[in-house]
Amino acid sequence: MLNGFIKVCAATPKIKVADCEYNASQILEQIEKAAAAGAKLAVFPELCITGYTCGDLFFQDTLLNAAAASLNAIRRSASSADIVIVVGLPLRHMGKTFNCAAVLHRGRILGFVPKKNVPNYNEFYEIRHFTPAPEENSLALFDSEYIPFGSRLIFRCSDLPEFSLACEICEDLWVSSSPSAEHTKNGAAIIANISASDETIGKEDYRRLLVKSQSAKLICGYVYADAGEGESSGDMVFSGHNMIAENGNLLSESPLFSTGLTVSEIDLHRLGIDRRRMNTFKTEISDGYTEIPFSLDLCETALTRKIETHPFVPASSSDRDRRSETILSIQSLGLKKRLEHTGVDKAVIAVSGGLDSTLALIVACNAMDMLSRPRTDVIAVTMPCFGTTRRTRSNAEALALALGVSFREIDITAAVEQHFSDIAQDRDNTDVTYENSQARERTQVVMDIANSCNGLVIGTGDLSELALGWATYNGDHMSMYGVNASVPKTLIRHIIKYTADKTDNRALCGVLLDILDTPVSPELLPALNGDISQKTEMIVGPYELHDFFLYYVMRWGCTPGKLLRLAEYAFKGSYSREVILSWLKVFYRRFFSQQFKRSCLPDGPKVGSVTLSPRSDWRMPSDASAELWLKELEAL
């Protein structure tokens, strides 16, 4: 439960219809397994104490009495387990019978939540046996004790207030106005759905879509527990289709026609951050709601959920291809609009033979294709100097030739040496002035070329570089339109690979693959024996780590301690804790100290949920201190 994680499970026991004692024993067995797995919430199916398919046996007091006795047996036997239990049973109240979720913790019944939407169509005839939930909450007398009863109950952990639970039952999810919408507006972060959804062709996909979309639009965790083996097969078969979702993402799912536990961890801090960020997520305190407190022992939650090492990059190849195509379309359409609006004749790009300028050149070609203009209206300019290697220089030319753009080579060595003479810079002093003079000279050249041909300078810098400030201020930091500004380095590699894979141009494919195989470098220091001497990731750290840090800081507001824990978990076997911690400190120092470069970025299209544009998603003072974040890391 530390760092906001809470382990939850959806449980489908094997039952016998109308055998409450047997069913209680199966439920208790699953509770024991859930507690052993570290779960703090266990959700069971609808009416699982009796079985959903009892039919007119629900009119029999013998069955209802047995259900109540079995609920008491469950709460007594599970009283030592520090776990919230949600289990379904029929309950008599106010002279009627209700289809209820009973919420238990440490031998106490916290509340009864009756089903609000009781179906009576097709194979469902629940209205014959059950009364829909009344509008107002009340108290139900159960075993000589008055228990909160109603569809507007929220159960909140006093030790971890972010853990706030509400319930809905099966059909409540399928209707246009689900109770969970009101529950989340009134503060519920996790919705437990106890369900008995029979299996028919195509229903699995629709049910999954409902759970994912409900968790997405309500920014909540959603635990769906479905009835399974043992229910009557007279007219229906139940598959035990259990799901755990968080804000649109399916964290865990059971195979169809199975029993047992489906387990994962819901990140309550992550949900809270997204709710606070989205001002259109409305919260309110309704008079009709009752909040019921309970207490849990706080402990560290062992993680089993998938934490992607490359959160910007989809795991499946088909999803990567779709994302690559979408990003290329966004970039290209953005540039197309800018070229149309400005009425320029040319697009000018400084091409180094590296990843970023390669992607920018591909985007510029796409934009010209969309405008039905010749690709020769794109001018690719390579500007070799002290650190340029034969490999990158030849790749820059080969790329321009394969794409059919105009190509210019301008050696800036003499110009930079003259500049060194003007400012009294020692040619052998390879300091930051030595490096930045080259970057600024290159920018001056393409800016002036653009002026001379009525052109627009296309920026090549990517999101990862902007986060770290790995750009020369008023050098490669500056352009007239930055097409890569919200594309991280880890994703750029896949976009270029996608382009190489889909092209029929063998020359283009070959040069793209070689560019992918070239170490990332600004090539501002002299080459060693013709090879790149300045490798970016040896200086600022691995981009896969920095992109991971950037995603979880920007998208989910992770604290340094939580971020370190996630990185250790995700990169286990690849990087040690010490290595991750050292680069995390570099990330925070550079992210804060380099904000001044981001505060005056040129325009560029947003392509994902994380961007650093000062005009849209990220507004940060350039002189903010990183001390709070660094102190937290020092204390770890």
Cα angle: 409, vertex 412, 416; to 5 degrees: 175
Query: Considering 40, 48, 54, 115, which one is annotated as catalytic?
Result: 115
Under a CB-based contact definition with an 8 Å cutoff, are residues 350 and 357 in contact? yes
Indicate the Cα dihedral angle 82, 86, 89, 90, nearest 10°: 120
Query: Considering 20, 157, 170, 365, which one is annotated as catalytic?
Result: 170
Rounded CA separation 524/41 (Å): 56
Under a CB-based contact definition with an 8 Å cutoff, are residues 399 and 380 in contact? yes
> Cβ contacts of residue 234 below 8 Å, gap of 6+?
53
For 571, the 3-state DSSP assignment is: coil
Rounded CA separation 236/53 (Å): 9
Told to judge if 46 belongs to the known catalytic residues of this protein, a careful annotator would answer yes
Rounded CA separation 63/65 (Å): 5
Told to judge if 568 belongs to the known catalytic residues of this protein, a careful annotator would answer no
Q: What is the CA radius of gyration of the chain?
A: 30
**What is the edge-to-edge ordering of all strands in the sheet holding 221-226?**
249-253, 243-246, 221-226, 190-195, 164-169, 153-157, 290-294
DSSP lists the bridge partners of residue 250 as 245
DSSP lists the bridge partners of residue 379 as 348, 406
DSSP lists the bridge partners of residue 262 as 10
Q: Phi/psi at 581 (nearest 5 deg)?
A: -60, -40
Rounded CA separation 153/192 (Å): 12
Query: Considering 9, 46, 100, 562, which one is annotated as catalytic?
Result: 46
DSSP per-residue letters across 367-378:
HHHHTT--GGGE
Cα angle: 255, vertex 100, 266; to 5 degrees: 45
**HEC profile of 515-530:** HHCCCCCCCCCCCECC
- From residue 503, how far is each of 37, 332, 404, 476, 510 by CA, in Å? 49, 17, 14, 29, 10
For 179, the 3-state DSSP assignment is: helix
Catalogue the active-site residues.
46, 115, 170
